Amino acid sequence: MDLAAILARIGAEMAAAPDRGRVADYIPELARISTEPFAMAVCTAEGETFTTGAAETAFSIQSVSKLFTLAIALGRLGDQLWTRVGREPSGLAFNSILQLEHERGIPRNPFINAGAIVVTDAILAGHQPREVLGELLRFLREAAGEDDIHINKAVAASEQATGDRNLALAHFMRAQGNLLHDPVLTCGTYFHQCAIEMSTRQLARAGRFLMNAPTMPRMLAPGRVRRINALMMTCGHYDGSGDFAYRVGLPGKSGVGGGILVIAPGRASIAVWSPGLNDQGNSKLGTLAVERLARATGWSVF
């Protein structure tokens, strides 16, 4: 299989795609980004890396960060985490508050905003926000095997300034006894985690531990890695998770910065970035590109 040629072809097709989606405009710093860039990077279990497009350009990983905080929380708390957050798809938008009132302030899963805020709140226990963010950056740098991964302070401030909806989720969960800290503290940490920037190539490298391949970095027990992949498949694209599973057939986690991390278990870690989003807040061309990659390679968990 000629992965370099497959990526080159997909890169050319995406560069020419007329309908590129719309950038997230509810975070002012992200609203300024163009829909032009496209990048894809594939790290294989054999240790090779293939890229196409702007794979060295740093972008805001946003909700893809939720994967890494979940990995830290599971490593630290184990299954105790599941008393505070569920493992079911929500079928609703990533920032929805609807289910919380009926479901005792326990978010459906760790990837919707409410669930990710609980995960961040859980790893804050006994620590300062600075320490949690330091641990997250260390985890990402170790997973990627690279140090040049940082938080964009302007993006974090922009999220903070327009973060009423996330603060509302946090206050509501606090009222129902499912938040340990002041919502401002937990959300402040969450906004900074979402504002982490890295390149498409770095993100593909950081995802290698989720491949469960013997040659790859081991950051968690294999059983936990399988479970994170299961959650990516069922909940990683919010109310677009079913469509992503149908079209791509691989677990993936998206972010409103236009990035998606996709895992072909035992075979590859794939990152894709294109800032224009579809109606569910997932990268439009990113989804199309991984759909084409999966078809060309035959990679699928089914």
**Residues placed in the known binding site for substrate:** 63, 113, 159, 166, 190, 238, 256
Whole-number Å distance between alpha carbons of 4 and 13:
14
Which pair of structure tokens corresponds to residue 154?
């302007």
Do 264 and 290 form a contact (C-beta atoms < 8 A)? no
Q: Which is nearer to ligand DON, 105 or 252 (CB)?
A: 252
Shortest approach of ligand DON to residue 87 CB, angstroms?
18
Hey, what amino acid is at 161? A
Give residues in contact with ligand DON (CB under 6 A).
Answer: 62-63, 94-95, 113, 159, 166, 194, 254-256, 281-282
Q: Which is nearer to ligand DON, 213 or 232 (CB)?
A: 232
Shortest approach of ligand DON to residue 195 CB, angstroms?
8
Q: Which is nearer to ligand DON, 280 or 297 (CB)?
A: 280
Shortest approach of ligand DON to residue 30 CB, angstroms?
9
Which pair of structure tokens corresponds to residue 20?
């590129």
Sign of the torsion angle spanned by Cα atoms 192, 198, 200, 204:
negative
Q: Which is nearer to ligand DON, 53 or 236 (CB)?
A: 236
Q: Which is nearer to ligand DON, 269 or 287 (CB)?
A: 287
275 by DSSP, 3-state: which? coil
Do 205 and 56 form a contact (C-beta atoms < 8 A)? no
Do 148 and 208 form a contact (C-beta atoms < 8 A)? no
Q: Which residue is nearest to ligand DON (CB)?
A: 63
Phi then psi for residue 210, to 5 deg, are: -85, -5
Shortest approach of ligand DON to residue 63 CB, angstroms?
3
Whole-number Å distance between alpha carbons of 246 and 28:
32
Q: Which is nearer to ligand DON, 69 or 254 (CB)?
A: 254
- Tokens 């060309």 label which residue? 296
161 by DSSP, 3-state: which? helix
Shortest approach of ligand DON to residue 18 CB, angstroms?
23
DSSP string across 20-68: --B---SSHHHHTS-S---EEEEEETTS-EEEEESTTSEEE-GGGHHHH
Q: Please give the annotated binding residues, written as ranges.
A: 63, 113, 159, 166, 190, 238, 256
DSSP letter for 290, please: H
Shortest approach of ligand DON to residue 159 CB, angstroms?
5
